[in-house]
Amino acid sequence: MFTFGANKRENYRTFLNIPFTLDKTDPLSKTVTTKTLIIRDISEDGLYFTSDEVFPLSTELKIKFQLPNNDTIINATIKVLRIETPELEKFNIGACFSSISEIDKERIKKLIERININNLLGLAIKNNASDLHLLVNQSPIIRVDSELVALEMQPFFPEEIKQLLYSIMSKQQIAIFEKDKELDFGIQYDTRTRFRVNLHQQKGFLEAAFRLINTREFSYEELNIPNVIKDLTRQREGLILVIGPTSSGKSTTISAMVDLINHERKAIIVTLERPIEYVHTNIKSIIKQREVGIDTNSFASAIKSTLRQDPNIIIVGELDDMETIGTALIAAEAGYLVIASLHAPSTIQSIDRLANMFPPDHRKKILNQISGCLNAVIFQLLIPKINKKGRVLACEILIANDAVKRNIRKDELSQINNIIQTGKAFKMQSMTESITKIYEDGIIDGTTMEYYTKETKDLRE
């Protein structure tokens, strides 16, 4: 796990692949031979490299190298301080600079500062960004209150992007990414903040998106989560869907639901995530957080395994394929409380999308399963506040009463909107009602209210 804070190195080192030459003098013949090796990481005080031969401790070696995108040749002398166990007939060697000019040390320092991922993550936090994007041959981009803003920095070269990202990855993660060309994982910045990281390639170049996650526990009131979601969270079995587009706060709402259970009852909660975002500490409940890709190979296989772990609540981070959906429905039917996230643009489309994951001749069976175990659908949007100072949660709540279940079984999903509109007695609310309320509370302006009201209405029709 990549962490900062109390254990952060005083002199930050970063992942590099810099060729360098060293002169080795034979003590008897005084013959000088030159070898070319690779610097793996470097600081202004020393470097770390791999060699096919071992150099005794305290050996001094004269070296030459060039920093990336710099024509200046650096001449220095290093002293071997550490030798690690050989790996595949290679020795990993740590050395300090025993002789190097102050100008060259400053060059190294500037390189390290430029490709220190800590600096970029700190800027994202300082600017209250929700996301940070690292793009080849462009300045880093942050998203602040839904708007994209370029940081005032020089563009990063492809090799620098690789150095930045590989510095926070384990050898296993690097191997997985180089095989699959995709990788999701999480990093802990400090005690309050995590980042969800997505690595991908674009036109053959490595790029990344970081999502900032504040791990501080927020109350339902701070998050503007309706109280009816507390009642849903206290249920003991069935399926609760938390849906919405990307960046609509689904993970935050689910985390708040887990936190409520954790404070109120003794239960075993198993979360299946890709990657882990909010880290929970056991209070009354036992919380097992499993990351797909590290702790398990898939959501579907993890759900099957979870059923043998004596759970009370199963959290599924993403319903993204037929097998995962089918296994989640079986778990909900079997008497477990399943809380699952799904990308969908409306309440009705979420149910339709679940059924459409299966062959057409399975649709009736799947709709019957959904109607039998569904407790509720929570449809979310994050809407810009007045003057774009942050965003506020708007929620549509569908409670699966008898009328809703009947319409799902009969595949008359279009009738569900009317039930939401008239379901106040069951604590339902439409997205329009939610948006209107936050407008009346002075949190959003009229133009924003009209835009999002029309957008959600169009999605329903």
Per-residue pLDDT at 278: 87
Asked if residue 34 and residue 178 are part of one domain, the reply reads no
pLDDT of residue 459 exceeding 80, the answer is no
Q: Could you report the per-residue pLDDT of 150-184, keeping only the tens digit for each? A: 999 889 989 889 988 988 888 889 999 999 999 98
pLDDT of residue 320 exceeding 50, the answer is yes
Q: How confident is the model at residue 240 (pLDDT cuts 50, 70, 90)?
A: very high
Asked if residue 325 and residue 390 are part of one domain, the reply reads yes
pLDDT of residue 88 exceeding 70, the answer is no
Dihedral sign, Cα of residue 420, residue 423, residue 427, residue 433: positive
Cβ atoms of 142 and 149 closer than 8 Å: yes
Q: Could you report the per-residue pLDDT of 341-351, keeping only the tens digit for each? A: 999 999 999 99
> 62 or 68, which is more confident?
62
Per-residue pLDDT at 460: 64
Query: What CATH number does the domain containing 326 carry?
Result: 3.40.50.300
Q: How confident is the model at residue 228 (pLDDT cuts 50, 70, 90)?
A: very high
Residue 52 lies in a domain: yes
Measure CA 280 to chain center.
15
Which of 214, 243, 259 is at the close of a domain? 214
Percent of the chain with pLDDT over 90: 67
Q: How confident is the model at residue 461 (pLDDT cuts 50, 70, 90)?
A: low
Asked if residue 62 and residue 179 are part of one domain, the reply reads no
Mean pLDDT of 192-207: 92
Q: Could you report the per-residue pLDDT of 248-272, keeping only the tens digit for each? A: 999 999 999 999 999 999 999 999 9
Residue 298 lies in a domain: yes
Asked if residue 436 and residue 316 are part of one domain, the reply reads yes
Range of the domain at 352: 220-460
Q: Could you report the per-residue pLDDT of 115-144, keeping only the tens digit for each? A: 888 889 999 999 999 999 999 999 999 999
Asked if residue 238 and residue 109 are part of one domain, the reply reads no
Asked if residue 256 and residue 143 are part of one domain, the reply reads no
Per-residue pLDDT at 41: 82
Per-residue pLDDT at 414: 93
Residue 5 lies in a domain: no
Asked if residue 246 and residue 205 are part of one domain, the reply reads no
pLDDT of residue 217 exceeding 90, the answer is no
Asked if residue 57 and residue 192 are part of one domain, the reply reads no
Per-residue pLDDT at 14: 60
Order of strands across the sheet with 131-134? Answer: 147-150, 141-144, 131-134, 205-214, 193-202, 182-188
Query: What CATH number does the domain containing 39 carry?
Result: 2.40.10.220
Q: Could you report the per-residue pLDDT of 3-21, keeping only the tens digit for each? A: 333 334 344 456 678 899 9
pLDDT of residue 286 exceeding 70, the answer is yes
Q: Could you report the per-residue pLDDT of 370-428, keeping only the tens digit for each? A: 999 999 999 999 999 997 778 999 999 999 999 999 999 999 999 999 999 999 999 99
Mean pLDDT of 45-58: 90
Which of 86, 113, 140 is at the close of a domain? 113
Asked if residue 228 and residue 136 are part of one domain, the reply reads no
Which of 113, 132, 165 is at the close of a domain? 113
pLDDT of residue 238 exceeding 70, the answer is yes
How many structural domains comprise the chain?
3
pLDDT of residue 1 exceeding 50, the answer is no
CA torsion angle 257 324 1 277 (round to 10): -30
Q: How confident is the model at residue 70 (pLDDT cuts 50, 70, 90)?
A: confident
Which residue matches tokens 């587009």?
A: 245
Residue 3 lies in a domain: no
Asked if residue 292 and residue 269 are part of one domain, the reply reads yes
Asked if residue 89 and residue 21 are part of one domain, the reply reads yes
Residue 4 lies in a domain: no
Asked if residue 335 and residue 422 are part of one domain, the reply reads yes
Q: Beta strand 141-144 with 147-150: parallel, antiparallel or unpaired?
A: antiparallel
Q: What Cα–Cα distance (Å) separates residue 105 from each residue in 59, 76, 439?
A: 21, 10, 57
Per-residue pLDDT at 191: 79
Per-residue pLDDT at 9: 37
Mean pLDDT of 15-31: 82
Mean pLDDT of 282-310: 92
Per-residue pLDDT at 86: 63
Q: How far apart are CA 324 and CA 300, in angstroms?
A: 4
Cβ atoms of 242 and 339 closer than 8 Å: yes
Mean pLDDT of 442-446: 94
Query: What CATH number does the domain containing 167 carry?
Result: 3.30.450.90
> 170 or 440, which is more confident?
440
